[in-house]
Amino acid sequence: MTEKTITLPKARLSVVGLGPGDDALMTEQVRTAVASATDAFGYFPYIARLSGLEHLRLHASDNREELERARAALDCASEGRQVLMLSSGDPGVFAMASAVFEVLDLASAEERARWARVAVEVLPGITAMLAAAARLGAPLGHDFCAINLSDNLRSAAVIERRIRLAAQADFAMAFYNPSSASRPEGFARALRVLKEECEPERLICFARNVSRADERLQVHALEAVDESMADMRTLVIVGSSTTRRVGRHVYTPRSYGARARD
């Protein structure tokens, strides 16, 4: 990554998306913010992506400490530093932008006074959902939604209801955080709902480590899918009833006249 030196106003918190993995997919706007920052806060793997930049002071923390991380970053910026809050993909998609604004919204009077001079900006990035869709073709070419399968911040019942309603409305769906060592049942629950609501031929796409050297893309009919096919590094895209294959690509027609499979 090429370093640049640009003078920006002090006391700034830039909430940035680093993209899905390949540095080529990091936006120039984010590169500029990285080059001019003094500090970076983020989850351990995201901080590691900037570990070779000697001008940055790095502050790594666990992914369950989002609100504490946001407070620490705001405090750091209030000292007149130019601070990065790191997310992978896009910071507004299941990431740190909402955590920063939640902390600002719930701030005490003393915190509001301390952070008053901090200019907060959100710089978008290419989220895994869009990077995966591009590699696959155009599976999100018509109406779609994104659902986080982690029940860390909301109940499994809420997640299941959203998947069921999205399937009944015939949305294509992108599933984030399908399964992890501590929460292995997330994708299994989603799969159970899909098999109750969708036809067996529904196309399910798996994109693991998109844009990285070990990227792996798979497409299967729903009837051939099992819960072991997705982990936390996998982005799952569920097609709508009109989603189809053309050669090695998957796409969802934009035409409102596209006929759903019988």
Q: Where are the domains of the chain?
A: 12-126, 129-251
Q: How far apart are CA 194 and CA 187, in angstroms?
A: 10
Give the residue carrying structure tokens 């995966």: 132
Confidence of residue 148 (pLDDT cuts 50, 70, 90): very high
Domains 12-126 and 129-251 belong to one CATH topology:
no
Phi, psi of 89 (to 5 degrees): 55, -125
pLDDT tens digit sequence for 29-39: 999 999 999 99
Q: Residue 223 carries which side chain, given as an amino acid letter? A: E
Percent over 70 (pLDDT), the chain: 93
The superfamily CATH assigns to domain 129-251 is Tetrapyrrole methylase, C-terminal domain (3.30.950.10)
Please give the model's pTM, rounded to 2 decimal places. 0.88
Give the pLDDT of residue 8: 46
CATH assignment of 12-126, given 3.40.47.10, 3.40.630.30, 3.40.1010.10, 3.10.180.10?
A: 3.40.1010.10
Whether 199 contacts 261, CB under 8 Å: yes
- From residue 36, give the alpha-carbon distance in Å to each of 18, 27, 93, 152, 167: 15, 15, 24, 34, 45
